[in-house]
Amino acid sequence: MSEQIANNVSESSLPSTQQPSSFADIYHSSIHNRESFWAQQAKRIYWHKQPDKILDDSNLPFAKWFVGGETNLCYNCVDRHLPDRAEQDAFIWLSSEINQELIDTFPAVADAFSDLGNSVEFYTDYTKRRLTYNDLYKEVNYFADVLQRHGVGKGDRVIIYMPMILEAAYAMLACTRIGAIHSVVFGGFAAHNLAIRMDDAEAKMLITVDAGLRGGKIINYKNLINQGVEQANHKPEHVLVVNRGILPFKAQPIDVDYATERRISCDANATVDPVWLESNEPSYLLYTSGTTGTPKGVQRDTGGHAVALTTSIDYVYNGKAGETFWTISDVGWAAGHSYTIYAPLLAGMTSVMYEGLPHRPNPGIWWRIVEANKVNILFTAPTGVRMLKKQDETWMTRYDVSSLKSFFLAGEPLDESTASWLTEHLGVPILDHYWQTESGWPILSHAPKFNHKPHKQGSPGYPMYGYDAHVINEETGEPCAAGEKGLLAIAAPLPPGCLTTVWRNDKRFISSYFNLFDGKQYSTSDYAVVDEGGYFHILGRTDDVINVAGHRIGTQEIEEAISTHPEIIECAVVGIADELKGELPIAFCVLRDHEQVKSTENRFRLEQQIVGAVVKSLGGIARPAAVYFPQALPKTRSGKILRRSIRALAENKPTGDMSTLDNPPAIDAVKQSMKDY
């Protein structure tokens, strides 16, 4: 097998040995000589058919990269490494949720591991599985065979609703192997969210588990899937269930047991040939919150995605084949896609998957994992780190973390105090960087490989190669001077690996991202400034999307859930700053009968019902931290609610210009509602 694959690998599948002299050279080439720059990077992956053209920018803002080239994402992640890395770990999976106590309580969990293959090690406070590239090759082929035997093929959409387990990785890679388009939905989302995504994607199959665990609490995934299928207008043909032995469930007529189907594939030693896709065919969809309340299906291509991520491991993260990369992020988020599953495998690294919290079984679990597995590059969101700041600091120094070359953070701004705290206790470079679900890989970062500029705490860095990024005046489109606040924008074409459109909605792609000036400026919807040294600083959102612990949530989505309550006539949700989670949603609700909240009992009832409606519709991550009941909301003369003014009041900041306010007493009503709370 390895010999056959080796014969199929051409020189174009290997990285170039020619190294640029400096990051400045790299950046200049990527902006001013785009085609030659990316043609060189394209040599990092295997092409079944070489591209006919590197860039087609004839229809901006729609850009096509590596036109006519044919490749396969799974082949590049797995098969390509078998000649040299068959026995190297591809994944190290760890769970602090599944421990000896849980096994004693749920004996079926241990049996489920044996049904799913691969050795497992049970420890007192965590469980571990190791998976070599050869093991991964077999498991992905088994999974792909199961999918094909149940009618899934090229272009079909598959919804994956799973926790951080290896089978989620198999499912993603198996979909890309057969040319199916996967869409992973974060396990914290409620049934309503699932139904919306099923309908938009027109999913042919759902893949899920019986249950997940978070903080020792059981999350009934299968029940949520059942509810989602019931609510969806477009019903899947099958629900493939990975039974972890945690929570018994009654199988539905469309359910398929994965362990049973895997056994058939395993007994047959099934292998599935990769389906070669043209570079611009979609690899996956990832839904992200929008200001209209309806999630947008970010569409990622195949060839550009593979090239961009492989290049980023080298140029951004300074990672090397054989090293260990750990991204502490759920596979339901972009970071989990890009840097738990795809990028480390594309680069021939070992990726760590972790199911658990930063402080369970104790606040030293992260550092214990780093030491035990010689992690070289660590990546997470600041929220988890802020959680550890509240714990006993001695846990920070109990383990040897000298294997770490760098610790990257993203998903929300990294405050200087947290960065300094990490630096003091870990003694490794702490590197903030900035990117989005839409970009798929970093827009702003520091480049430790090249020592381009000194690391500057409080800044996510400077534009990475390929991104013609700048801060512009949102009224005139002119570049802002140093220190002047403006909109962070990127000139088209976007580099490879970024979203190519919104799934089946090109108009929304343009209206959401390219509606400024000449239609060729991508709006990040973030305010920023550039300092005298060329470092960028992110100042916050320009729209009504808030960032809760790295999770983007549209305030209108929350407002729509609240508005289902029959006693509420209108509401406004804003995000307020929070030391731990970055932002928290709070709700201001106007009742049909304001007299109700004069009773403490009635007020409590309404609060609980409103919070319950949000959790039912969107999941716990969208739970309002507070609910206020003003008699009116401040509005402009055109009827638009002044959410920025409400947020300013909630954070005890100046409200700014109120000349457009149509109902001045409403400001006092909002103030009074917070005093009444």
CATH code of 602's domain: 3.30.300.30
Does some domain include residue 118? no
pLDDT of residue 508: 95
3-class SS of residue 173: helix
Confirm whether 591 is domain-assigned.
yes
What is the three-class DSSP state of 462? Answer: strand
HSE value, Cβ hemisphere, 13 Å, CA-based, for 450: 19
- The tokens describing 44, both together, are 């990092």
Longest dimension (CA), the chain: 78
Tokens of 338: 């890009």
Encode pLDDT of 462-494 as tens digits. 999 999 999 999 888 899 999 998 999 999 999
The residue-averaged pLDDT of 545-564 equals 78
CA dist list (Å): 653 to 197, 452, 662? 38, 38, 21
- Cα separation, 40 vs 36, in Å, equals 6
CA dist list (Å): 659 to 350, 544, 645, 654, 669: 58, 21, 12, 14, 18
Pairing of strands 406-409, 377-380: parallel
The answer to whether the beta carbons of residues 351 and 90 sit under 8 Å apart is: yes
pLDDT value of position 388:
86
- The answer, as to whether pTM is greater than 0.85, is no
Average pLDDT over the chain, rounded to whole?
89
Q: How far apart are CA 269 and CA 263, in angstroms?
A: 10
Is it the case that residue 666 has pLDDT exceeding 50?
yes
- The answer to whether residue 397 scores a pLDDT higher than 80 is yes
Dihedral angle of Cα 444, 449, 453, 456, to the nearest 10 degrees: 60
pLDDT (0 to 100) of residue 7: 34
Side chain identity, residue 483:
G
Over residues 444-454, the pLDDT tens digits come to 999 889 988 88
- What lies within 8 Å, CB to CB, of 423 at 6+ separation is 429, 430, 457
The answer on pLDDT for 6 being more than 80 is: no
CA distance 659 to 184: 45
Give pLDDT, residue 15.
Answer: 44
pLDDT for residue 118 is more than 50 = yes
Euclidean distance between CA atoms 499 and 342, whole angstroms: 16
3 state SS of 629: coil
- Rounded Cα gap, residues 528 and 472, in angstroms: 9
- Answer for the pair 434, 540: CB distance below 8 angstroms, yes or no: no
The pLDDT value recorded for residue 630 is 92
pLDDT given for residue 539 in this prediction? 80
Question: Dihedral of the CA atoms 428, 431, 437, 443 (nearest 10)?
Answer: -140
User: In the prediction, which pLDDT does 20 show?
Assistant: 59
Element at 53 (helix H, strand E): strand 53-59
What are the residues whose beta carbons fall under 8 Å from the beta carbon of 564, sequence distance 6 or more? 613, 617
Domain span including residue 638: 548-676
The pLDDT, as a whole number, for residue 212 is: 94
Residues 6 or more apart whose Cβ sits within 8 Å of residue 190: 224, 615, 616, 617, 618, 619
pLDDT of residue 398: 92
Cβ neighbourhood burial of 203 (10 Å; 0-12, 13-18, 19+): buried
Q: Is residue 471 part of a domain?
A: no
Cα separation, 182 vs 205, in Å, equals: 10
Give tens-digit pLDDT for 11-63.
333 344 455 569 999 999 999 999 999 999 999 999 999 999 999 999 999 99
In a domain, 65, yes or no: no
- Containing 71, the helix (H) or strand (E) segment is strand 70-71
pLDDT at position 664 is: 74
The answer to whether residue 442 sits within a structural domain is no
Domain count, the chain: 1
**How many CB atoms are closer than 10 A to CB 578?**
15
Please report whether residue 561 resides in a domain: yes
Q: pLDDT (tens digit, 9 = 90+) per residue, 253-304?
A: 999 999 999 999 999 999 999 999 999 999 999 998 765 557 899 999 999 9
Q: pLDDT of 159-208, one tens digit each?
A: 999 999 999 999 999 999 999 999 999 887 889 889 999 999 999 999 99
Q: Is residue 611 part of a domain?
A: yes
Dihedral angle sign, alpha carbons of residues 647, 653, 659, 662:
positive
Nearest CA to 506 out of 498, 514, 516, 518 is that of: 514
Confidence of residue 2 (pLDDT cuts 50, 70, 90): very low
Is the previous residue joined to 665 through a cis bond, with omega within 30 degrees of 0?
A: no
What is the reported pLDDT for 527?
86
Q: Are 104 and 137 in contact (CB under 8 A)?
A: no
Contact call for residues 242 and 165 (beta carbons, < 8 A) = yes
- Note whether 575 and 647 are within 8 A (CB): yes
Q: How far is CA 38 from the centre of its chain?
A: 25
* DSSP 8-state code for residue 474: T
Residue 660 forms part of a structural domain: yes
Residue 276 DSSP label: P
Instruction: Report which of 525, 169, 117 is spatially closest to residue 327, judged by C-alpha positions.
Output: 169
Q: Does the structure show a pLDDT above 90 at 566?
A: no
Averaged pLDDT for residues 553-579: 84
**Which has the minimum average pLDDT: 52-56, 60-64, 413-417, 601-605?**
413-417
pLDDT in tens, 308-364: 999 999 999 999 999 999 999 999 989 999 999 999 999 999 999 999 999 889 999
What does residue 327 show for φ and ψ, rounded to 5 degrees? Answer: -105, 115
Quick one: tokens of 195? 């139904």
Query: Are the C-beta atoms of 605 and 627 separated by less than 8 Å?
Result: no
Q: Specify the pLDDT at position 662.
A: 57
Question: What pLDDT, on the 0 to 100 scale, is given for residue 517?
Answer: 78
